Structure formats: C-alpha cells, structure tokens
C-alpha cells in the first residue's frame, strides 16, 4: 500500500521554486492558526482577569467537577422533585403511581362503611395513610402493578385479616406509628387545592384551614375533620419551632422584622403571617424564620418603613422620585399572561433591557420584581404551584456587563426571588440570546473562560436545591421554544426574542387594571 502524506508532491513540470513557495504558504497558514488560537486564549485570560474578585472566588467554589459529584449524590426523591420543578410534573413512573392512587381513593370514597368493613375503621383511625402516594396505599398499588381495582381488594383483605388477628389493637393510635411529615404536607396541599376549587380564594386560605373571607374552608365531615386536627396540631408545633428559631437569630439579622413586629404586631407577629412563610418552605422552621426576616429587611430597604405595612400599589410605583415607573413601562420585569400548563405563574426579567439602557436602575427593577411577585400571591394557584423565573440575557453578553455593582444586584435579586417573598420559585431559566454563524459555531459564548466563570459563580450563589432547577438556554429559537413547551410554557407566554408571540400590550393592560383596582 503506497505511503500517503499531507505534503503535496510537485507535479511534473512544476518548478522547484513554485513548490517551495506553496510549502511556505502552508506553513504560514498553520502558524497564523496557532497564533490566532493563542490570541483567543490570551483574550479569554485577559477577560477573566477583568472580572470582579467575587466572581473568581465564587466560581472556584463550584466547578464542573463539583457539579458532577453533586448530581451523582442526589437521592431518587431529590431527582424526582427536581424533575417536577423543571417540567411541572413528576417523572413518568411517579405519575403512574399518583394517578393510580387517585383512582384508588376515588374507588374507596364511593364504598359504604359496610362494604369497607375493617378498612373503614382503619381510615378513621389513620386517615393520613390514604392521602399520599408515598405511604400505605402505594404498597398495595405496587403489589398489584398499579391496578387500583386489584389494590382495593388486597387492601380490604389486609385489614380484615389484621383485625381478625389483633382485634381492636389493630386500630390503636400507636399501631401504625406517628404520621409521616410527607403525608401531612401532602394533606395540606390537598386541602389548599380543594379550598381553591370551591372558594376561588387566595393563598391565605389554607395554611390554617380558614379563608380570608372568614369561616372554615368547605370540607366533608368525619374523616376530613380528623385530618384537619392533625394538620392544626402539626402547624402549631411548627409555629413553636419557628418562634424558637426567631429567638435564636442575632438581633442584627432581624432588626427590620423586630421593628415591624413592634409597630404592627397584628400583622408581622401574627400566627397567620408566620404560617404563610412556613407554607412556602414546606414547613421547615429554620428556613421560614430566615425567609420571614429577609422579607421585612427587603421591604424596608425597597419601600421604607412608611410603606411597609400596607399593599404596594401601582400608583406608588409611578412616583418619579423613588418609584419604578420606567422599569414597569418598559417591561424590564413583567408577568406573562395566565399560568403555565401546571398552574405556575411566569415572571420574566429582561436583563437584556437592563444592561442596554442605563436609565433602568437596580433599585427600580427590584421594586418592580417585588410588586409582581406580590401580585402573584393573589392567584391561589401560584401559591400552591409557585412561579417560574425566566431571565433573558442580552445578545453579545460579555465581561463588560459584569462588575461589582452587577454582582451585588444579582445577589439581591436572587435573595428576593427565592429567599424572601413567600412564594416558591420552582425553576430558573437563563436565556442567552446568541446568533453565531457557522464559522463561530464551534466557539460560541459558552466556550469562553469568562462565561464559564460567571456561570459557576451563579450556580454557587443559588445553592444546591436551585442548581437542580436551573436551565441555561443557548440554542436556536426553535430549539428553545420546544424546550419551553416541554416545561408547560406556551409560545404566547414568551417574547419574540425567544421565539414566542407575547404581546407587550398585555403589560400596559395589566398595570391599567391594577390601577383601576387600587383606586
């Protein structure tokens, strides 16, 4: 087999001088390519050196290696929760279980006490065993390949046999152990959904089983009364733990809340107010305490004590001296119409507008974000399902956009959206507007050293839980529109820059409606 070489052999009749010239041209091309690659690397290093120290410091704390280790260490439950936060629904295998559980519950609900027999006694003694797909019902469903009819038969036989062997001891209060926290939380969420469907009220409804309109949330008697008793006992215990957490916080960390609690205790120090914060963090007293004090600190910072105890109105934000009229008008922050497919509000932050128009102030943007998040609270569905944050970064996003002020603003924004207002931020979508041509395709913005550092910094700042709920969109409009559709977000809810058909007139219409309500 003849030996092949990349060097071009001189053709017959070609002079030695021409061959030498061609060889020099090839060498020059190779040298130019090496120099260009070296220059690009030096440009990256130069840009990286211009980043604020806090970016470099935080970026070094969360590298791709750390991210890989963190993902590998996730439990099955954590993976399922992250999947549901991003896509709005559980993984397929869990959906199957939950649908089967709902069918099983429906089958049991139409049976008479006589037909249920021993199972009726069990449902009265241990009602929470039958409200969560993670508990008692799931065992029988899995044993019967998720066939509800067969699971009902097996469950009936189980309790008949249990009562035959143990007698009344089978239904003793301690026979099945204390209710699992997960079951209690699912029961609370179930009551929230029922109250929303029947009363069409806002979030303050369900945390304690009462609505703002007064009176108890509609409920069935008997079985649900027992569940409500368990819920209230659980909430009172978590309130006690929350108060203990607040007592342990240093004074410097809770000054704004202490002032608010002293000035208007019926609001800032009320059980109803605290339960709203507990509810937003799945009743974790440690997180609720920190979110509560962060809420009041942020509200005092953005609006001052004089406006801290009443609703913030659009008319207040229209104030030219300290409001955020321009940020609202330009839609730097805004809500998208309706909700996504899974009941979540969609909040859009146009960082591209902020970074390309110096008239938009950081404090004005934070005030606008505060207002829209609070507006979302009056939608009961958002208080159950949370909201999705979409951040649009500008085309040509570069190191020139990153400085100490920008880093401080990013920290305050992420505090406001995920650790302050009592709404769950279910997912964060960062969208980088890029238009690389074919020559640049292999070296887009994501390959640049500085951008990797910025992404690492942001992932470090948002924390472990939110890192699994973060999606960076860098594809074409068509690709990313398809990705948003997978998450339950429609074309009509996305701006043109992301391939959507969102009508900016909605922003003005929404604000006009709010002004009319406020007047």
Residues 260, 304 contacting (CB under 8 angstroms) = no
Classify residue 2: in a domain, yes or no: no
Over the stretch 253-265, which tens digit does the pLDDT of each residue have? 999 999 999 999 9
Q: What is the pLDDT of residue 54?
A: 57
Share of the chain above pLDDT 90, in %: 41
* Tally of structural domains, the chain: 3
Classify residue 242: in a domain, yes or no: yes
Specify the residue for token string 């887009």: 444
228 CB-side CA count, 13 A: 18
Q: Which of 19-33, 59-73, 243-257 has the lowest mean pLDDT?
A: 19-33
Question: Does the pLDDT value for residue 359 go beyond 80?
Answer: yes
User: Mean pLDDT throughout 488-515?
Assistant: 90
Q: Do 500 and 458 have their domain in common?
A: yes
Classify residue 78: in a domain, yes or no: no
Classify residue 268: in a domain, yes or no: yes
Classify residue 185: in a domain, yes or no: no
Q: Do 123 and 162 have their domain in common?
A: yes
Where would I find the H helices in 422-497? 449-467, 477-486
Over the stretch 134-186, which tens digit does the pLDDT of each residue have? 678 888 999 999 999 999 999 999 999 999 999 999 999 888 888 888 888 88
Q: Do 136 and 64 have their domain in common?
A: no
Q: Which domain holds residue 283?
A: 197-305
Question: Does the pLDDT value for residue 59 go beyond 60?
Answer: no
Q: What is the pLDDT of residue 22?
A: 58
User: Mean pLDDT throughout 208-221?
Assistant: 38
For 281-407, strand residue ranges (E) read 333-335, 345-349, 387-393
CA 176 to chain centre: 35
Classify residue 361: in a domain, yes or no: yes
Q: Do 271 and 362 have their domain in common?
A: no
Question: Does the pLDDT value for residue 208 go beyond 60?
Answer: no
Over the stretch 461-476, which tens digit does the pLDDT of each residue have? 777 888 889 998 888 8
Over the stretch 321-338, which tens digit does the pLDDT of each residue have? 777 989 999 999 999 999
Q: Do 296 and 381 have their domain in common?
A: no
Q: What is the pLDDT of residue 129?
A: 80
Residues 259, 297 contacting (CB under 8 angstroms) = no
Q: Do 264 and 167 have their domain in common?
A: no
Classify residue 375: in a domain, yes or no: yes
Q: Which residues contact 338 (CB under 8 A, 6 or more apart)?
A: 493
Residue 124 banded pLDDT, cuts 50, 70, 90: confident
Q: Do 354 and 488 have their domain in common?
A: yes
Q: What is the pLDDT of residue 119?
A: 94
Question: Does the pLDDT value for residue 203 go beyond 70?
Answer: no
Q: How far apart are CA 289 and CA 419, in angstroms?
A: 11
């Amino acid at each position: 087999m003849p030996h092949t070489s990349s060097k071009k052999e001189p053709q017959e009749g070609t002079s030695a001088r021409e061959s030498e010239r061609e060889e020099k041209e090839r060498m020059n091309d190779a040298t130019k390519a090496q120099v260009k690659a070296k220059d690009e690397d030096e440009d990256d290093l130069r840009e990286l050196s211009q980043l604020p120290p806090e970016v470099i410091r935080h970026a070094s704390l969360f590298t791709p290696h750390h991210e890989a280790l963190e993902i590998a260490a996730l439990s099955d439950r954590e993976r399922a929760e992250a999947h549901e936060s991003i896509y709005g629904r559980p993984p397929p295998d869990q959906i199957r279980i939950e649908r089967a559980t709902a069918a099983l519950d429906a089958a049991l609900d139409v049976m008479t006490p006589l037909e249920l027999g021993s199972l009726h006694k069990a449902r009265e003694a241990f009602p929470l065993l039958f409200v969560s797909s993670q508990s008692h019902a799931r065992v029988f469903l899995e044993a019967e390949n998720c066939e509800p009819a067969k699971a009902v038969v097996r469950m009936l036989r189980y309790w008949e046999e249990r009562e035959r062997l143990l007698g009344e001891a089978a239904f003793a209060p301690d026979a099945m152990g204390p209710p699992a926290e997960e079951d209690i939380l699912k029961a609370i969420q179930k009551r929230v959904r029922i109250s929303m469907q029947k009363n069409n009220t806002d979030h303050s409804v369900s945390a304690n089983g009462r609505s703002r309109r007064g009176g108890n949330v509609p409920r069935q008697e008997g079985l649900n009364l027992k569940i409500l008793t368990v819920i209230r006992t659980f909430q009172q215990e978590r309130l006690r733990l929350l108060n203990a957490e607040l007592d342990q916080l240093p004074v410097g960390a809770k000054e704004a809340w202490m002032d608010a609690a002293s000035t208007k205790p019926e609001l800032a120090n009320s059980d109803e107010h605290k339960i709203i914060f507990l509810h937003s963090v799945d009743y974790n007293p440690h997180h609720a305490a920190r979110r509560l004090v962060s809420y009041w600190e942020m509200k005092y910072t953005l609006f001052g004590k004089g406006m801290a105890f009443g609703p913030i109105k659009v008319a207040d934000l229209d104030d030219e001296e300290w409001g955020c009229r321009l940020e609202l008008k330009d839609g730097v922050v805004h809500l998208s119409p309706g909700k996504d497919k899974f009941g979540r509000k969609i909040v859009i932050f146009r960082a591209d507008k902020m970074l390309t128009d110096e008239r938009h102030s950081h404090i004005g943007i934070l005030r606008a974000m505060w207002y829209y998040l609070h507006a979302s609270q009056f939608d009961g569905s958002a208080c159950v399902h949370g909201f999705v944050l979409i951040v649009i970064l500008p085309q040509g996003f570069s190191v020139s956009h990153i400085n100490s002020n920008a880093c401080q603003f990013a920290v305050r924004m992420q505090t406001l959206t995920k650790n302050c207002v009592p709404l769950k931020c279910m997912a964060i979508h960062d969208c980088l507007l890029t238009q690389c041509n074919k020559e640049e395709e292999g070296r887009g913005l994501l390959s640049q050293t500085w951008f990797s550092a910025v992404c690492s910094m942001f992932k470090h700042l948002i924390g472990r839980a939110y890192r699994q709920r973060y999606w960076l969109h860098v594809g074409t409009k068509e690709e990313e529109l398809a990705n948003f559709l997978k998450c339950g977000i429609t074309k009509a809810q996305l701006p043109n820059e992301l391939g959507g058909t969102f009508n900016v007139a909605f922003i003005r219409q929404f604000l006009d409606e709010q002004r009319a309500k406020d007047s």
